[in-house]
Structures are given as C-alpha cells and as structure tokens.
Structure 1
Amino acid sequence: MNLFNIIKNKKEYWLVDQIKKEDVSRESYIRELTDILEDWDRLEIGYLSLLMDEQFESWLLEKNFGKISSIVEYTIDLKELQKTNNQMVSHSLAERLIDDHEYAELYEICRSGSANRNTKQPLAQVMSSLENELGPEWRKHCYYFLQDGAFAGISIPHIEIGTVDEGRLFYFGVVPELRGQGIGVQIHRVSLELLKQFQATYYVGSTDVNNTNMIKIFEKNGCELRHRKGIYKVVSGAHF
C-alpha cells in the first residue's frame, strides 16, 4: 500500500509526506513508515524530513524524531478555474532572459524573512533539488514575476512526484519590499492557472501554521483547509 510520497536526494535527505486516507488504520501507517525508516537507515542517508498527522507524534518522538513545527494544507479544484485578467508579467527560466545564478539570487531574496519555521536548505542544495525533483526540463517550471519592470516574486509550479494531476508549488515567494500589497495573491493566482496548463486537476499547498499571510493568500484564491500535519526530522545514525 502506498501511504507516503517520498522524494529522495542522493545521500543527502529523504522527504516523506503522509498520504492521508480515511479508511487506513494507524497500524498500517506505522508499519509502512517503519519499513521506510529501515531502508533509509540502511542506506545511511543524511536525514529524513517527515510530514505526518500529529496524532502519531508520541510514536515519532519515541523513534528519535524531533518536531520542527506544524503546517496546514489547503486545496482547490482546478478544473473549473477561470483565467483572470491579471496584469502581472511572468517569464519562465527556460526563456533564458535571466540565468540560473540570477534566479537563485531572486529565490534567496524571496525566502528572506519567511514565517515558515522549517530549516532552510543551503541555496546550492535548493537549486540542485530542482533538477533532481522536477527533471531535466526543470527550468520550464521556474517562473519569476515582474511589477513595473522590477522583480516581484517567484513560483515553481509542477505536478507532484508519484501523481499525474496533483498540482504543487515547489516554492512561492514575494520580494520583501512588495509584501502586504496584494502581490502575493496575484502571483499565487497566476501560479494556479499555470498548474492547470500543466494538466493539474487540483492543487495542494502548505505553509507553517504561523504564516498567517500565506494562509490569507490561500483563502483569497478560494483554497480550503484540508489537513494539519507536523514537520518532523530524524538524522542518520538514530536508533529506532
């Protein structure tokens, strides 16, 4: 039974996300996660980051996981999403109007001052992860947005690994000086339209429970709360 999505980055980390299903027992989740942990430990991967329902928290803490924070997941059906008259100018990195280094710098600016409590990966690792997780055409998913000719923000829409139609944003962010002006709502809305172009039929977005600005963006664009999960982390060498 496939109860977790897993993104594997060579020997550095695994990202594991619980797929919440109503008809699956607690024991089934624990059994499958135990198998995943045994494989991860045997391969001596650097660390494992887990998104999982907080009802499992006591069991996870017993297994030497540390809790980082909690996140909320929002979702929206994209099938009926209508294209808006949004005037935001967008380009993909694949258009080669800017280079990878410039995009990485913009990424770093957008994530500065974030309310999310999850530990930031080094930027070089982030850029490596883009190709690893999105494939050789990863630049087609890397968008940046302009307001009056200046950089306003970025988003990276893609289809979630292991699915055929679940839309996700690898990252979404607004430059600090434009936050609080409604720019985030516009960029997020365009990103939903891009996901529909990528053949996503629904979108799942998540953010830290303390990131009230991002939660407002979800809600203003019609997304509804789906789940709350904890973020947990365990490092190589922990004993289960």
Structure 2
Amino acid sequence: MDLFNIITNQKEYWLVDQIKKENVGSNDYQKQFSSILNDWIEERIGYLSLLMDENQEEWLMSKGFEKISSIVEYIRSLDSLPDIDEEMDYHSLSEGSMSDQEFRLLYDRCRTGTLNKNKQQSMDKVMHAIETELGPNWRKHCYYFTKSDSLLGICIPHIEMGTNDEGRLFYFGVTPEFRGQGTGVNIHKIALHLLKNHFSAKNYVGSTDTSNQPMIKIFEQNGCQLRDRKGIYRIEKEN
C-alpha cells in the first residue's frame, strides 16, 4: 500500500506527501517513510521536503528534520462551478503570445511578498521543476491572465500524480498591484473551470500556508471546504 506520493528530481530534491488513509496507524506510516528516507540518504540528493501529519512531529525531529511551517488543505467538487468574470482574458503559454522568459518574469512578480513560509527556490529551479513534473507539454498548463492590457496573475493547473481526476494548481499567484481587489478570487475561479474543462478533473485540492489568510479566503469564497492540516518538514543532505 502506497502511503506517500513522491516527486523526485534526482540531482536536487525529493518532494514527499503523506496520503492519509483510514485504518492506517502511525507505525505503518513511520515504517514506510523510514524506507523512503533511507533511499534518499543513499542517493545523497540535496534535500527532502515532506508534508506529513503534525502528530508525527516529534518522531520527525528525532530523524533530523526541521519544521518549516504548517499548511491547510482544501477540497471542492467541480461538478457545479460559479460563473466567471467575462472581462478577464486568459491564455496558455502554448499559444505563443508570451515568451517563456516573459512568463518566468511574471511568475517571479506574482510570488513577490508571499505569505507562505516555505523556502523559495530560484526561478531557474522553479522552471526546471515545471518542465520535469508536467512533461513535454508543460506550456499547455501555464496560464496568464489579463484585463485592459494589464497582467493580473498566473495559474498552472494539472492532474495530481497517481490520480486520474484530482485537480491541483502547481502555482497560483496575483501580481502585487492587483491584490486585495477580488482579482485572486476571479483568477482562482477560472482555474477551477480550466481544471474541469481542459484537464477533466472531478475534484480540486488546494493548499496554502496557515499564515496566508488571503489565500484561505479565496478558497472559502470559491466554495472549497477544509479537509486537512499538515506540517512542512525538510532535511538537507549531510556534506
């Protein structure tokens, strides 16, 4: 039984996310994760980032992990979605109207002043992760939003690894000058439509840092329900 999703970049990092299942005890999770951790140690990869129930925190600390933050996870069925803002335009990077470099710069603007406490990667690593995790058609996942020729923000919808219909956003962000105006709610709403209509998602799962109240409000305003809370833990390879 797989109790963790794992995304690996063989040279730089492993991203591990606990899959919570009924009737699975702490010992089972610890046993399986210990095997994952041992494999990571043998590979000597740069770092391992873990999302896991906070009731495992003491055990993780004893293994050398540092706690980065806590996140909340929200879920929403995509069966029935509210109408979107028809005045907001959106395009995928695959259409060719924006260059990869322009999208990269817009992404970097959107993450300026983030309230999330997780460590930011360089944009080189971010773009490499998008290409690696989303595959050769990654540009079809990268959307940017405009209104009256102003760049408002971006989203990167995809189907979660190991599932057929669980919609996720690799990233969602609003440019600093358009925050606090309802822009984020509208972009997120369109992102839900994209997940349903372009990627055949049945449900949406989103997460954010517990300190990111604006994002939590966006989840709630767009009908998402709180599902879970996890800690973010990180361990670096020994030199």
SS in structure 2 of the partner of residue 6 of structure 1: strand
1:21 corresponds to: 21
How high is the TM-score relative to the length of structure 1? 0.97
Matches of 1:36 and 1:155 in 2, distance apart? 31
1:64 corresponds to: 64
2:37 corresponds to: 37
Runs of 4+ in 1 over 4 A off after TM superposition: none
2:76 corresponds to: 76
1:149-178 per-residue CA deviation (whole Å, 9 max, x = no partner) reads: 110000000001111111000000000000
Q: 1:84: how far off? A: 3.4
1:209 corresponds to: 210
Matches of 1:82 and 1:200 in 2, distance apart? 16
User: Within 5 Å, which residues of 2 pair with 1:31-180?
Assistant: 31-81=31-81, 83-180=83-180
Q: Is the 8 A contact 2:82 2:189 kept in 1?
A: no
How high is the TM-score relative to the length of structure 2? 0.97
2:196 corresponds to: 196
Q: 1:118: how far off? A: 0.2
Unaligned runs of 5+ in 2: none
Q: Is the 8 A contact 2:72 2:226 kept in 1?
A: yes
Matches of 1:166 and 1:187 in 2, distance apart? 19
1:72-118 per-residue CA deviation (whole Å, 9 max, x = no partner) reads: 00000112335535421000000010110000000000000000000
1:23-67 per-residue CA deviation (whole Å, 9 max, x = no partner) reads: 211111001100100111111111000001100000000000000
Matches of 2:205 and 2:131 in 1, distance apart? 21
Q: Is the 8 A contact 2:72 2:209 kept in 1?
A: yes
2:11 corresponds to: 11
Q: 1:9: how far off? A: 1.0
Matches of 1:160 and 1:201 in 2, distance apart? 12
RMSD: 1.1
Count residues in correspondence: 238
Matches of 2:145 and 2:85 in 1, distance apart? 15
